[in-house]
Structure 1
Amino acid sequence: MCGIAGIFHPETVKPVDPVRVERMCDAMVHRGPDGSGVWTAPGIGLGHRRLSIIDLAGSPQPMHSADGRAVLSFNGEIYNFRELRRELEREGARFKTDGDSEVILAAWQRWGVNCLSRLDGMFAFAIWDTEKRTLFLARDRLGVKPLFYTRLSDGSIAFASELKGLLAHPLLRRRVDLAAVDDFLAWGYVPDTRSILEGVHKLPAGHFMLLEQGKRVSEPRRWWDVSFAERRKGSEADLSAELVHLLREAVRSRMVADVPLGAFLSGGVDSSSVVALMSEASNSPVKTCSIGFDVASVDETSYAETIAQRYATEHRSRTVGQDDFAEIDRIAAMFDEPFADASALPTWRVCQLARENVTVALSGDGADEAFAGYRRQVFHAHEERARALMPPGLRSSIFGTLGRAWPKADWAPRSLRAKATLLALAESGEEGYARGLSVLTAPQRQRLYGDRARHVLGNYRAEDALTRLMREAPARSGLDRAQYADLMFWLPGDILTKVDRTSMAVSLEAREPLLDHRLIEFAASLPDRMRVRRSTGKYLLKKSMERYLPDDILYRPKQGFVTPIAQWLRGPLANSARAIAKSEMVAQTGWFDARRISDLAEAHIAGKQDNSRTLWQLIMLEKSLSGLAISE
C-alpha cells in the first residue's frame, strides 16, 4: 500500500518542479514509510511513497515499463498479478521485477484502458504514456483506494491519494464548498460526489480519466458497475456451495504477502467468517486483534474471544475509553475532510494494535452492503411492500399526518420509535431510504443554519444525489436499490474512507476479501429471499457459514462497531458539546444558529434528547475546518 501524487500540464508542455511533487508525497509519508521516488519529464511529474508488501527489495516507483515508454505510480495490490504475468509473458512481455506494479504497466501496453477489467485488486494509479502523451488515472471497482484531483490556477492538474497531498501544493485555493458541508451534515461524511474544498474532486469508484496533452480535459468515465437487474437461479444448497467457493477464493487470494499478515476480529458475522476461512487456508495460527469499550452495553470482545478460541488464533485485544478522545485532533487530521463516523476512533486503535505484529490485516468490510446486512435495508424491503399496497397520495396523507403527530422518543424502546418509519412511508422509496440513511434530514439541517448558509445553498439538497442514484440503479426491487446506493455511495464515502485513512495512518495495509468483485456480482444476482428472509438480513451468507460459526455469532442482533458517544457527551465530554455553540466556526462563518446549537447541547446533556450524532458532527466539522486553514 502506498501514496501517489503528480502534476500534469494538459495544455502546454511546461516543466514540473520535482520539489513540489516531492512535498506532495512527503505530506503522505505515513502511507509509504519504506521508500520514495519522483520522476519528471516535460509537462508531467509523478511521485510515490512506498509501503513494501510484495517484492520487498524490488519494484521501486515511479516505475518504467520494460521498453521505457510508460511510467507508473501505483497505490494498492493486484491479487491476480501472477496469472496476468504468465498470460502477458506468453504474448511476449518481459519482466525485470517480481511484483504487481510492472504487470500493470505491461497490461496497459497490451490492452489499453481495457486492462482495468483484467485487474483483480484494490488500486488507484497514474500511468504516463510517453508516446501518446497521455495520462491515465484509474480507481478500483468499489473505491477501496482513494484519488483526489484538482485544476490549479496555472492550468495544471494535480492529483494525490489524500487531500493532504494537494494541500501541500502552494497554488491550491482552500475555499470551502458549502454544499459539501450540507452533504456532511446529512451523511456524516463528504461523499465521493463532492469534496470539502471548491474545485477539488474525487475520482469516483470504478472510473478512469484519460488526459491527452493538447486536448480538452475529459470527464471521468465509468469502467465498472454492478447490476442487480439479473436473478441467479438454483437451489439454496447450490447457491450456498457457490458462495462458499467464492468466499474461500477471495480470502486466499488476499493472504499473499511477503510480510506478516493477520486479521481484524470484531466477533460479528463478517470478520468471524474471514478469520474462519483464513484458518482453513493457513498452516499456522492466524494473528487476530479486536477492540472493546469501557461501556459494557456496547462491548463485544467476548464474541471475538469465542471465535479466537474456536480457531486457536493468536489473539490480542484492547479497550477504548473516554480518555482516548484526547486524540480527537489527531483523528480529524487523518481525514482532512470532516468525518463524523465515531467508529473511526476504535478502527484506528485496532489498526495500531494490528500494526504491532503485522503489516497486512484482512477485514470483514463489505458484506453488509452486498448481502443486505444492515437493519435499514431489511426495514426498507418491508416498507416497499407496504408502499405497494397504497396509492402515493393516500400514503402521503395518512402516514405523513401520523408521522408529524408522532413524538420523537429517543428514550423509548425501539418498537415505539415509529416517527421515522411513518414519515418514510409517506415518501417514495428513494426519499424514505435517504431519510433512514441520513444523520440530519433537510428540515433539521435548515434549522441549524444561519441566514448566510441558507442564502448560499438556495435549493441545494444533499439527498438529491442519493435519490437520483437509486432511481437510476440497474435494479428490480426496492431492496436492490437500497443495496446499490450503499455500495456506490455509503461504502466508498464512509466505510472505505474510514478504513483507508486509519490503517494508512499507522502504515498498515487493510484488505477487504468480502469486496472481491466476483463475490459482489454474485450477491447482486441473488433473489431477494436469499438476502432477506423475514427479519434476517444476509440470509444466504449466514446459512452458508453455519458449518464454521456458532449460532450466537450468526444470529444475534446486529450491533456494529458502536461507540458510546452519547454517554461520553453527557459526562466527561459535556464541555466539548457546550463549546461548539461558541466556537470560531460558528462565530465567524455565519453558517450556523448558535442559540439552536446551544439548545441541542443542553437538551442532550440533560438526557431529554439524544443529539449525540449532531453534536459529534459539529465537533468534527469544527476540527476539520480549523486544520484546513480555510481562506475566504
Structure 2
Amino acid sequence: MSGIMGIHHLNSHPINHQDLEKMVDILAHRGPDHADIWIEEFVGLGHRMLWTTPESLIEKLPLINQAGNLVITADARIDNRDQLIALLKLPERSIEKITDSEFILAAYEKWGESCPEYLLGDFAFAIWDKRQQSLFCARDHFGIKPFYYYYQPNQIFLFASEIKALFCVPDVPRRLNEVRIADYLALMMTDKAITTYQDILRLPPAHSLVINQSGIYIWSYWSLDDQRELQLESNAAYAEEFRKIFIEAVNCRLRSAFAIASHLSGGLDSSAVTCVARNLLAKEEKIQLHTISTIFDKITECDERPFINAVLDQGGFIPHYAHGEQFSPLSDLDKIFQYEDEALLGPSHFYPWNLNRISQEMGLRICLDGFDGDTTVGHGTTRLTELLHQGKWQTFAQEVKALSPHHNVSHAAVLQSYGLPYLRDLAKQWRWIAFAQGVQQIHQHFGVSRKLLVIHHGIKPLLEPILQLWRQWRKQDKSPHLVSQTSLVNPDFAERIRLDERMQILAGSTLPPLTVKEEQWRSLTQGLLTYTLEQMDQYAAMFSVEARHPFMDKRLIEFCLALPAEQKLYQGWGRMVMRRALEGILPKEVQWRGGKTDLTANFVDGLLNRDRQLLDEVMLNRLGNIEKFIDIDFLRAAYQRLISTDNQASNADSMAVWQAVTLALWLDYKQVML
C-alpha cells in the first residue's frame, strides 16, 4: 500500500510545484517511509512509499525508464512476476532485486496500453509517455487499489489514491453529489464511477484510461466471464484444484519484508486464510503468523472464541485480541473522518478500523483477511431455484431438509423463500400441469395442504393485478410502491433526482437470478464490492497498513464462478468445494460449521448504550443538514421504535437511524458545499 498522485495541465500551463507537494503531504499516512515528486513542464507525478515487500525497500518512485521517455508512479503488488520475467526485457539481475513498478513499466514498453491484460495482482498506476504526450492509467481487476480523478476538458486532469489529495489543488471544487447520497440512503451502491463529490470520479475496476490534448478515453480491459463452465472428473478433482489455486492466492500475498498478521474472526474464510498462511510460513522457516481477533466478554452471542481457539490450538500463531464491546458504530468518527473522504460507511466499519489500529500499535504493516469469501466461493443456495426449474423436486426436497439443520432454519422457511415463489410463477405463466405437479410434490415432501397451495399460490397471484388496478381506480394506491418511496429517502428529493428511474437502471434485471452462476456473477460485478474494497483500503491506510485479500484473487474468482452448482451447495452444505479442499488444513469445528455469528446485537447495543449521548444529540438537534435528503417522519418513527423499551425496532430501523446520523455527522465534519 502506497499513495500515488499526479497533475496534467492540458492547457500547457506549468505545474505548480507547491500543489503537487501538498498532494504528497496530505497522503503521508499511506506511505511514511519515503516521498518524492517528478515534474516536467505541464506534467507532475508524486508518490508516498510504504515498505512492505522486499523489493519495495529498494524501490524509488516516480521511476524513469532507461530511455528517459517513460515515467511511472504506482501503488502495486504484482503477483505473476515469475511469468513476466520470461516475457519482458528486464535488467540482468535477480528477480528479488526487480521492483513491481519495473515490471509494470517493462510491460508497458512491450505491450503498450494492453499491458494491464498481462498483469496479475493489486495495482493502480499512471505512466507519462513523452513520445505520445499522453498519460496512461490503469486499475486492477476488482478495484482493490483505489484511483480517483478530476477532469476538466482542455484544462486539467488530476488523479490520486484518495479524494482529499485532489482538493489540494485550488481548481477543484468541493461540491456534494446528491445522487450518490441518494444511492447510499436507498442502499443501492452499485454505480462504479461516481463519488460523493460532483466532478470527482473513480476509475472503475479492470479499466484503463488515457488522457492527452485530444481528451480522455476510458475502456475496460477485462470482464468476468459468466459463460465458462468447468467440468472435472470427480469431486476430489474439483477440491484439489481449488486447494492449489487458493494456496497460491495466499502465498502471493505473503511476499513481505516484515511480519504478517491475519484478521481471524473464526469464520470459514478468515480461518482458511490464517491456516494456509501459517502452513506456508512454517515451510519457509519464517517467523510465526500474528492473528488479531475480535472477542466479546459481555455480548456473548457475538463471541466466536470456540472457533477462533480451534484454529489457534493448532499452534504456530501469535494471537492478539480486540474487545468488541469497547468500540461501536459511532465511536471515533471524528478520527475516522480525518481520513475517510465519503460519508458512506458500512455498518461494520469499526471492526476493521480497530483491528488495523492494533496492527499499527504492534508494528505490523501487512494484514491478511477473509474478505468476501462468501461471494467468491458462493453458498450456492440458488441451486434450489435451479433444481425447481429442472423439475428435480425430489433433489430439491433433499437439499432443503439437509440445509435446514446446518443453518438453524426451518424447512418451511426455506420452502417459503424458494419453492413457493416458483409455484406462484408457474401460476402466473399459466403452466398448470407443472403447477399441479409442484403442488403434489410440496404436499408429498413437506406435508403442506394442496388446497391451501392452490388458493394462496395459484389463484391469488392471478387476482393480485386485478386487485391492484381496482385499488388505483379507488385512489387507495396512487402509485406503485417503489423502494425510494418506502425507505429513508425524502420522497420530494427522490422525485427531483428521479431516483426510481435510476434504481431500475442500476439494478439491471429486475428478475431474481435463476442460477447460482448468475447470482454470483451479479455480486462480483456490482459497484458495492468495489466501494467496500475502497473502504477496506482506507481503514488500513489510516494506520499505514496494507490490507491483502486472498479471496479477491482473479484466478480463484474465475475458477469458482465456473464451478457446477453442486460444487457450491451439496447435501445441505454451502461452499462444498472449499470444505472438501481444506480437509486436514482447517479444524473440523470450523470446516463443518453452518452459518456465521450475527453481530447485530453488538451493533444495536453500541447505538443504544455506548453511543447513546451522541445518538440522541444528533437526532434531537443536528438533523438540519440532511432534512432535504431524509424522510424525517420515517426517521423519527424508526428512532422511537429503536429507543423504546418494548423492543419493537427491526434491523431496518437501526440501520436507517445509523445511516442518517452518520451522514449528518459527516456533513458537519466535512462542510461540503450543498
| TM-score relative to the length of structure 1 | 0.85
Corresponding residue for residue 341 of structure 1: 346
Contact 2:190 2:506 in 1 (8 A): no
Corresponding residue for residue 500 of structure 1: 537
Is residue 358 of structure 2 the alignment partner of residue 359 of structure 1?
A: no
SS at match of 1:87: coil
- 1:479 aligned to which of 516, 527, 547: 516
Contact 1:360 1:509 in 2 (8 A): yes
Counterpart mapping for 1:189-588 below 5 A: 191-211=191-211, 213-218=212-217, 220-234=218-232, 235-282=234-281, 283=285, 284-293=287-296, 294-323=298-327, 325-355=330-360, 356-373=362-379, 388-391=422-425, 394=428, 442-443=482-483, 446=486, 448-450=488-490, 452-461=492-501, 463-468=503-508, 477-489=514-526, 492-533=529-570, 535-559=572-596, 562=599, 564-587=602-625
Contact 2:307 2:590 in 1 (8 A): yes
**What CA RMSD, in Å, does the superposition of the two structures yield over aligned residues?**
3.1
1:104 Cα deviation from its structure 2 partner: 0.8
Corresponding residue for residue 438 of structure 1: none
Measure, in 2, the Cα distance between the counterparts of 1:261 and 1:470.
Answer: 43
Measure, in 2, the Cα distance between the counterparts of 1:295 and 1:188.
Answer: 31
Contact 2:189 2:528 in 1 (8 A): no
Corresponding residue for residue 87 of structure 1: 87
Q: Which amino acid counterpart does residue 336 of structure 2 have in structure 1? A: I
Give a deviation string over 1:116-168, Cα, whole Å, max 9, x none: 12211101111111111111111000111111112248821111111111222
Moved more, 139-148 or 161-170: 161-170
Corresponding residue for residue 124 of structure 2: 124
Gaps of 5+ in 1: 397-421, 427-440
Give a deviation string over 1:321-350, Cα, whole Å, max 9, x none: 255543122234432112232221111111
Contact 2:2 2:30 in 1 (8 A): yes
Contact 1:387 1:395 in 2 (8 A): no
Change (3 A) 1:323 1:588: closer
1:114 Cα deviation from its structure 2 partner: 2.0
Measure, in 1, the Cα distance between the counterparts of 2:424 and 2:510.
Answer: 21
Measure, in 2, the Cα distance between the counterparts of 1:342 and 1:600.
Answer: 17
Give a deviation string over 1:579-631, Cα, whole Å, max 9, x none: 44445453575332333322211111112112111111112212222233211
Corresponding residue for residue 648 of structure 2: 608
Contact 1:181 1:190 in 2 (8 A): no
1:442 Cα deviation from its structure 2 partner: 4.9
Moved more, 255-264 or 597-606: 255-264
Contact 2:625 2:667 in 1 (8 A): no
Corresponding residue for residue 476 of structure 2: none
Contact 1:139 1:204 in 2 (8 A): yes
Measure, in 2, the Cα distance between the counterparts of 1:193 and 1:560.
Answer: 33
Contact 2:38 2:44 in 1 (8 A): yes
1:299 Cα deviation from its structure 2 partner: 1.8
- 2:634 aligned to which of 596, 600, 605: 596
- 2:661 aligned to which of 619, 622, 631: 619
Query: Which protein shows a greater Rg?
Result: 2
Change (3 A) 1:95 1:527: closer
Contact 1:264 1:288 in 2 (8 A): yes
Measure, in 2, the Cα distance between the counterparts of 1:230 and 1:558.
Answer: 29
How many percent identity over aligned positions? 24
Measure, in 1, the Cα distance between the counterparts of 2:72 and 2:491.
Answer: 48
Change (3 A) 1:133 1:287: same
Q: Which amino acid counterpart does residue 630 of structure 2 have in structure 1? A: F
Give a deviation string over 1:540-569, Cα, whole Å, max 9, x none: 111211222233212323326835211222
Measure, in 1, the Cα distance between the counterparts of 2:332 and 2:170.
Answer: 28
Corresponding residue for residue 61 of structure 1: 61
After superposing on structure 2, the runs of 4+ consecutive aligned residues of structure 1 that deviate more than 6 Å are 90-96, 377-382
